[in-house]
Every structure is written in C-alpha cells, then in structure tokens.
A and B are shown apart, each in its own frame.
Chain A
Amino acid sequence: AQKITQTQPGMFVQEKEAVTLDCTYDTSDQSYGLFWYKQPSSGEMIFLIYQGSYDEQNATEGRYSLNFQKARKSANLVISASQLGDSAMYFCAMREGRLTGGGNKLTFGTGTQLKVEL
C-alpha cells in the first residue's frame, strides 16, 4: 500500500485565488511528521511547512497552511492568494517514528503539478 497518496497529478488555479493540494497518508505509528516541499522546474526541493502528529493546531507559514485531519489521515496543503511563482511541483512527505523503523527516512508522494494562471 502507498504510504503517501497524492491523487491530483495536476491542478490549475487563477492568480490570487486559494488552492488546496490533497495528501493522504498511511501509518500505524502514533508519532510521525508530515512535510510539504515545492519543486520548481530548476529541480531543487524547497521546504514549505511541517506538521507533527501530536501538534494540536494546524501548521501555518505565511501563505501556506496545512489542513491536518488526523482521524482521516489527511494533510492537505492550502496556498492562499496564489502567485505566478507558485507554479511548481508539490510533494507531500512523511517521516515515521522509530516504532515502525522509520528512522530518518522521508517517504514521498508522487506529487501534484500546480499551474497558476492570470
């Protein structure tokens, strides 16, 4: 079974609108971390936001927020007020705790290609 599932291969959004990128995960561990990265066409992975499994509040970083629904095992990324520079590939990733032997490994989803239009 896939540990990280991103069901939207591609998304379009108009400039200045908000967009939600979906991510669901699968783990039997109680302690885990969820990350979102942005990958522009240049290829570098840029860290956006982190959510810990025990964090009570949803994470926010500027225009990025994470809609964390633990019971549904989802960690959707919300980008508010989209900008042309937000056009990129977005990856959801999970690090599991030592209980499941996760160690330091990040498990990535297959990504969502976001295109921001005028």
Chain B
Amino acid sequence: DGGITQSPKYLFRKEGQNVTLSCEQNLNHDAMYWYRQDPGQGLRLIYYSQIVNDFQKGDIAEGYSVSREKKESFPLTVTSAQKNPTAFYLCASSISGGLRETQYFGPGTRLLVL
C-alpha cells in the first residue's frame, strides 16, 4: 500500500535537546512538506521541498531544520532554538508543486516537552 508514514507517534523532548521527526513516503511524489498544528488552529507551513537536495523555508521555519537526501524521506529536526515546540506535526507530499496538486498527509507526530 502506498502512503506516508511518520514516526514516532509521540515524542518527548527535554530542555535543550534536539529531536528528529521521521517522514517517509512511497508514493513517488516529488514534493514534501512539514506543517505544525497548535490546538484550535489550522496548519502552518514549516519547510517544503520540491526536489531532492533542495528545500525552502515556510512561514515558521525558525528553530527547525530539514534535509532531503532521498526522494522518499524528509526528516524534520526540532532544535533547542525552538522555544515552544509542543504541537502536532504533520508531513505531507504531492506529485509536484502544481496548483492543482493535492497534498496527502501522514498520521502525524505529537511532540511534548518534558
């Protein structure tokens, strides 16, 4: 079955710690995205990548970093510089970056700060 997987489902971060959220897709999509969702709010774009080895900042990139070394994988690192990391993180992918292209989402990772 094709789809997007995210791991872990829940992640706990200690003060000053970097943590990495995994996102893998086997849909052969070129474009991948990371969104953050806070309670009672919509999604906000953190980073996106249209092609391997290239990515762009979204609206709230500060305190986050990404890499795109493989087409299938787009991991997100939440660094210690992100002062309020507690949120629900959603990864998405689309065939390309076209206007009509639908973004398909993974099941999400809930990040909590200890």
Collect the chain A residues with CB atoms within 8 Å of residue B99's CB: 31-33, 52, 95, 97
Q: Mark A20-47, 1 if CB is under 8 A from B, else 0.
A: 0000000000011101010000111111
Partner of B107 from A35, A37, A42, A52 at Cβ < 8 Å: A42
In angstroms, Cα B17 to Cα A110, docked, is 30
A63 on the interface (CB 8 Å rule)?
A: no
In angstroms, Cα B88 to Cα A35, docked, is 21
Partner of B50 from A35, A46, A50, A104 at Cβ < 8 Å: A104
The total of interchain contacts (Cβ-Cβ below 8 angstroms) comes to: 65
Collect the chain A residues with CB atoms within 8 Å of residue B41's CB: 110-111
User: How far is the CB of B72 from the nearest CB of chain A, in Å?
Assistant: 18
Collect the chain A residues with CB atoms within 8 Å of residue B88's CB: 43
Interface residues on B, range: 20 to 34
- Which chain B residue lies CB-closest to A53? B99
In angstroms, Cα B58 to Cα A97, docked, is 16
B97 on the interface (CB 8 Å rule)?
A: yes
Contact call B107/A44, Cβ cutoff below 8 A = yes
User: How far is the CB of A31 from the nearest CB of chain B, in Å?
Assistant: 6
User: How far is the CB of B106 from the nearest CB of chain A, in Å?
Assistant: 7
B42 on the interface (CB 8 Å rule)?
A: yes
Q: Mark B86-102, 1 if CB is under 8 A from A, else 0.
A: 00101010100101111
Given contacts A45-B90, A106-B33, A111-B40, 7 further A-B contacts (CB under 8 A): A37-B105, A43-B107, A91-B43, A104-B94, A106-B45, A108-B44, A110-B40
> Chain A: residues with CB nearer than 8 A to chain B?
4, 31-33, 35, 37, 42-47, 50, 52, 91, 93, 95, 97, 103-106, 108-111
